[in-house]
């Protein structure tokens, strides 16, 4: 320290944090960004504003509402399990196929994703309906699928499966096959490699896929309405209950809004669950 510096009054300068400079963007982009956020958030705000809060407890604890919620949670859970059991192997086959085969399989898998669910419902009827392709065979076996709870699960699986396959396949491609080759070199059988290396490596993608899959199954309406109908207790899931309440004779619109609130809460719960899992996930 020089004498001059030492003789100066000791007033430490205000401490300023060093920071990196980021390249800015045109400020006017805030305007469409705000509108975009509004499009996503305002409808929910309006829904909460219109909610008849005193009537909510009665609406969501009514036997019909609880029945619909129970049916929705049960069918969506079964559909999600079906998606995992069928979707993980399908994703593995796509990820390990050559580029041409993979492209075809991926397109076919994503089809239900881009089609209106109503079309899916008609397609399912064409396959499993009484007049459908497998209709006679099912009749011989004494099975009737349309307008049963089974039909609800099938419709939900049909629309939700692509989400799981796409999510898991992406993870498989990112993980690559290098670790699997190392594991095989250490003497591991194909099943051991799958169980101890492949599956754990795609676990984050699998969890994301399961959440998307469950959410999609929970919200499924179009295919269910056409293929499974709207019978209270067996096929009337939450979305159908909301639709019925909204259009139904003599039932207040408030019930539909209250039921919607329930679905929103379930969806938020599922998203939070996923965040919690991923936060303490390894690596």
Contact (CB, 8 A) for 52 and 257: yes
Does the protein bind another protein through residue 189 (CB under 8 A)?
A: yes
Dig out the tokens for 277 from the structure. Answer: 């899992």
Q: Which residue, 198 or 260, is less far from another protein as judged by CB?
A: 198
**Rounded least distance, CB 87 to another protein, Å:** 21
Binding mask 196-235 for another protein (x = CB under 8 A): xx--xx-x--------------------------------
Cβ neighbours, 10 Å, residue 241: 25
**Rounded least distance, CB 201 to another protein, Å:** 6
Please spell the DSSP secondary structure of 118-178, one letter per residue.
HHHHHHHHHHHSTTSTTHHHHHHTT---TTSHHHHHHHHHHHHHHHHHHHHHHHHHHH-SH
Q: Which residue, 88 or 241, is less far from another protein as judged by CB?
A: 88
* DSSP at 186: T
Q: Which residue, 85 or 182, is less far from another protein as judged by CB?
A: 182
SS3 content of the chain, % helix, strand, coil (to 5): 75, 0, 25
**Rounded least distance, CB 188 to another protein, Å:** 4
8, 15, 19, 283: residue in contact with another protein (rule CB under 8 A): 283
d(CA 168, CA 179): 17
183, 240, 242, 263: residue in contact with another protein (rule CB under 8 A): 183
Could you list the residues that contact another protein (CB under 8 A)? Answer: 178-179, 181-190, 192-193, 196-197, 200-201, 203, 282-283
């Amino acid at each position: 320290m020089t004498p001059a510096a030492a003789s100066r009054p000791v007033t430490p300068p205000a401490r300023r944090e060093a920071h990196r400079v980021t390249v800015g963007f045109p400020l006017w982009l805030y305007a469409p960004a705000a509108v975009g956020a509004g499009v996503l958030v305002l409808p929910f705000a309006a829904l909460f504003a219109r909610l008849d809060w005193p009537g909510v407890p009665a609406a969501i604890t009514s036997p019909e509402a609880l029945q619909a919620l129970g049916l929705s949670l049960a069918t969506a859970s079964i559909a999600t399990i079906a998606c995992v059991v069928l979707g993980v192997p399908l994703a593995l086959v796509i990820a390990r196929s050559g580029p041409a085969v993979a492209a075809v399989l991926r397109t076919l898998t994503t089809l239900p994703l881009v089609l209106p669910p109503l079309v899916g419902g008609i397609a399912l009827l064409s396959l499993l309906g009484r007049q459908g392709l497998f209709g006679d065979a099912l009749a011989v076996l004494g099975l009737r699928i349309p307008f049963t709870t089974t039909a609800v699960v099938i419709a939900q699986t049909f629309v939700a499966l692509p989400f799981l396959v796409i999510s898991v396949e992406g993870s498989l491609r990112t993980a690559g096959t290098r670790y699997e080759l190392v594991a095989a070199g250490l003497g591991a059988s194909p099943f051991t490699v799958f169980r101890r290396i492949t599956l754990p490596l795609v676990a984050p993608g699998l969890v994301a896929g399961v959440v998307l899959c469950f959410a999609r199954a929970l919200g499924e309406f179009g295919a269910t309405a056409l293929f499974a109908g709207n019978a209270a207790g067996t096929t009337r899931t939450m979305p159908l209950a909301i639709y019925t309440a909204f259009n139904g004779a003599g039932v207040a619109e408030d019930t539909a809004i209250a039921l919607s609130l329930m679905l929103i809460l379930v969806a938020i719960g599922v998203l939070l669950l996923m965040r919690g899992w991923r936060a303490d996930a390894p690596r």
